[in-house]
Amino acid sequence: MRLSITCVLLFQYCIFVPAVRADDVKKTDVYGRIKASIDAVPAIDTHDHLRPFEQISPRDKTEQGEGITLHSIWAGSYFPWIHPLEAWPKDGSFDTWWAKARDNFANARATSFYRYLLPAFHDLYDVDFDTITAEQARALNGKIFENYKTDKWLKEVITERANIELMVIDSYWRRLDFTTDYPFTVALCNVTSVVRGFHPSEFNDPLDDPYAFAKRHQMQINSLDDYLAVLDRVVATSRQAGAICLKSTLAYLRTLRFENVPKERAVAIFGRPRKELTAQDIRDFEDFIMWRLVELSAKHDLPFQIHTGQAKIQGANPMLLAELIEANPKTKFVLFHGGFPWVGETGVIAMRFRNVWIDSVWLPTLSYTMAKRAYQEWLEAVPSNRIMWGSDTGTAEGIYGATVFTRQCLAEALAEKVIRGELREQDALRIGRQVMRENALELFPQLKDRLWRK
């Protein structure tokens, strides 16, 4: 009897209190209000790779000259990470390319790496790429080519259409040069390469070479202590130049587990070329330097952005950073990409350590569904002032699409919580503004001097 009553009650609950489904929430007034509020926020994008205008690539050789094409937009996006894309033809003809490329997207229609660009084509060019015709594709290509004849298109799309006030740029192509290329961009200090500074032969680019940096600043490197002094100067110089944080992408190259290697061990390795070292030697030196960089991060009050998750996934779980984080409570760690796919692990790290911030940069583009789930989980575990976002792309269209994706994903996550009675709408509106803007201004107070919107 009890079982029957329970079944009836559950049946009635399912009928009269249906769950919020993915196809329902965007139709609600609550979502509409939250989305409008989030859209109106002049965003602070904490991470991007927008190159100087003349270096945006790939530029294709066309019948009208060299320039940015529809192929360029897709080739410069994340789509080729998961699916082949037809190369630009030698004859420079769009029609030649499109005859083959039009079928490239069929198996990727559901992927976020495909779908994040759709808002850009729809909103900026009035084109539905899912149903695009050959004639529409040719016209779209022509408009893209014209738009990229000057850099005005970038400013219009990024600062006006995408409503981004400031954008932090990781210039990985010139890591130790802290200049900026646009009035709305801010520098950071990418320290990925300096961990392997055991010998000058490790470097061949003066803008990525701590030994070249030392020469430019009249410093000598004859010992490990000298090298550490140079790294201190690198970080100090970056801060003076306006850089707001450190950044590491070592997760693409190696494990994120960094042991606290004794200095004596690093001294024995320093000054020797790679051919004289073992893989363990190199890893030990990198580990030692990483710990020193974390200390410099605290010393110069520059938060440390660390790529976690999708990279060299065998060693990219953010949990591998737990000991480093715990041992350095004065350093402000920013875990990038929500640790995808380990979003829950990222949440518990931020719950456990108050010197950890979560950056959802790139996550909606990786997996929209997981990003929405992550926002909801994180808000249940972490104070709302420790979550941020970024677009992590390099073209106007990519930045616009990733921004729209993030605003929509966050709005859905918050609206579902409001509808379920887990959050007041007024608090959801505040959280949306925090994630898109206020949290970055709180963590990186130097940004307040760069704000230009009235």
C-alpha gyration radius of the chain: 24
d(CA 379, CA 395): 31
With a cut of 60, say whether residue 20 has pLDDT above it: no
pLDDT of 303 reads 99
Beta strands at 65-67 and 43-48: parallel, antiparallel or unpaired: unpaired
CA distance 276 to 91: 49
- Complete domains list, the chain, with CATH: 62-119+134-145 (no CATH), 152-449 (3.20.20.140)
Query: According to the model, what pLDDT value does residue 24 have?
Result: 86
Mean pLDDT on 382-386: 98
Residue 306: its pLDDT value, please? 98
**What whole-number percentage of the chain has pLDDT above 90?**
94
Question: For residue 445, is pLDDT > 50?
Answer: yes
Distance CA 75, CA 57 (A): 9
Question: Tokens in use for 342?
Answer: 């380990």
| pLDDT tens per residue, range 189-203 | 999 999 999 999 999
For residue 17, pLDDT over 60 is answered with no
pLDDT tens by residue, 263-276? 999 999 999 999 99
Average pLDDT over residues 404-431: 98
Structure tokens at 194: 């300096």
The 3-state secondary structure of 78-98, one letter per residue: CHHHHCCCCCCCCCCCHHHHH
pLDDT of residue 454: 75
Question: Can you give the pLDDT at residue 8?
Answer: 41
d(CA 188, CA 223): 27
Residue 15 has pLDDT above 90, yes or no: no
In this prediction, residue 157 has a pLDDT band, given cuts at 50, 70 and 90, of very high
Around Cβ 52, how many Cβ atoms within 10 Å?
A: 14
What's the rounded mean pLDDT across residues 115-128? 98
- 10 Å CB burial of residue 232 (0-12, 13-18, 19+) is middle
pLDDT tens profile 202-244 = 999 999 999 999 999 999 999 999 999 999 999 999 999 999 9
Which pLDDT score, from 0 to 100, does residue 21 have? 56
pLDDT per residue as tens digits for the range 68-86: 999 999 999 999 999 999 9
Indicate the pLDDT class of residue 395, thresholds 50, 70 and 90: very high
Secondary structure (DSSP) of 169-213: E--GGGTT----SSTTEEE-EE-TGGGGTTSGGG---GGG-HHHH
What's the first-to-final CA gap in the chain, in angstroms?
67
Mean pLDDT, the chain, as a whole number?
95
Quick one: pLDDT band at residue 444, thresholds 50, 70, 90?
Answer: very high
Is the pLDDT at 6 greater than 80, yes or no? Answer: no
pLDDT at 160: 98
User: For the segment 21-37, what is each residue's pLDDT rounded down to a tens digit?
Assistant: 546 899 999 999 999 99
The predicted pLDDT at position 23 comes to 60
